Amino acid sequence: MHESIHYEELKSVIAQYQGLIVSTRLNIDSTIIDAAKELRWIGRLGSGMEIIDTEYAASKSISCFSSPEGNCDAVAEHALGLVLSLFHRVVISSQQVKNGIWLREPNRGKELTGKTVGIIGYGHTGSRFAKLLAPFQVNVLAYDKYKKGFSSSLVREVELTEIFELSDVVSLHVPLTEATYHYADQQFFRALKRQPLFINTSRGKVVDTDALIVALDEGRISGAGIDVLENEDLASYTADENVRLHSLTDRDQVIVTPHIAGYTQEALFKMSDMLVQKLETAGML
């Protein structure tokens, strides 16, 4: 089976396989699962199980595994890189120099040191992000709906209201579920008090793109670092979707990257290794 396999191709060959490993391109829905007569397990390289109908798989006695431990370092590093690039105006000033423009005062940056960073979602990537922030002597606040009692020397567990009130940076590290779809909506952005940088390296549909654009227009956030979009197939964009995309990318204080936060060479190995370990422990290999 090759990397560029399409949905219909997968459906036509899946009946002969006992195991399936997927990344982000294909949805493993009930149709695929029904066609997979011999399938015993599905492995997800990375985090986020929204592309797999896990409930239907379980009803067919198919076990599902993910490996979020494998790319949490990569995602956390990318989130930190977005913060530093935006605070220090790295991308826009570099582009200006490429265009023969040398500006210093308009590109005066801000230091991360001493700021307050709010992390929403304190799982593998959120907690790793907090560890990377430690040398900057920042005040790290974190909220997790499903995890409690994790305060430490690195982070203080708080409610959302405190993150909204105190944060200079707000970073999302949550899975895409029915509960988190458009989690960052107009109400979310209007609750922010300090015009923070907004970072999303989780899933595109966690953020309402229209609400994000309004928040930038109204100055409710000072900038945004976005690694994921609601629709990442740019070739399929409608005219309205193209307008929304350019409304983000045309701004100096916005960085958009193509879903590469967890897409490092090291992460690919670590995710694969972790997945194999889990499959072996479960007796699937």
Residues known to be catalytic: 203, 232, 259
Q: What is the pLDDT of residue 24?
A: 77
Q: What is the pLDDT of residue 30?
A: 96
Structure tokens at 41: 């397990």
Structure tokens at 154: 């690195």
Only one residue has tokens 């020397």, namely: 153
Using CB atoms within 10 A of its CB, is residue 280 exposed (0-12), middle (13-18) or buried (19+)? exposed
CATH topology for the 7-70+264-281 domain? Rossmann fold (3.40.50)
pLDDT of the chain along its 285 residues, tens only?
345 788 999 999 999 999 999 987 789 999 999 999 999 999 999 888 899 999 999 999 999 999 999 999 999 999 999 999 999 999 999 999 999 999 999 999 999 999 999 999 999 999 999 999 999 999 999 999 999 999 999 999 999 999 999 999 999 999 999 999 999 999 999 999 999 999 999 999 999 999 999 999 999 999 999 999 999 999 999 999 999 999 999 999 999 999 999 999 999 999 999 999 999 999 998
Q: What is the pLDDT of residue 48?
A: 82
CA distances from 83 to 9, 112, 177, 188, 229 (A): 41, 8, 26, 20, 18
Q: Would you list the domain boundaries of the chain? A: 7-70+264-281, 72-256
CB 126 within 8 A of CB 119: yes
DSSP assignment, residue 165?
H
- Please state the separation of Cα 23 from the chain's center in Å: 14
Class of domain 72-256: alpha beta
Q: What is the pLDDT of residue 46?
A: 85
The single-letter code of the amino acid at 234 is L
- Partnered with residue 184 across adjacent β-strands are 207
Q: What is the pLDDT of residue 184?
A: 98
CA distance 195 to 46: 32
Let me know if the fold of 7-70+264-281 is the same as that of 72-256.
yes
The single-letter code of the amino acid at 16 is Q
Q: What is the pLDDT of residue 183?
A: 98
CB 70 within 8 A of CB 267: yes
- Please state the separation of Cα 93 from the chain's center in Å: 26
| DSSP code per residue over 224-270 | EEES--S---GGG--HHHHHHHHHHHT-TTEEE--S-TT--HHHHHH
CA distance 273 to 279: 10
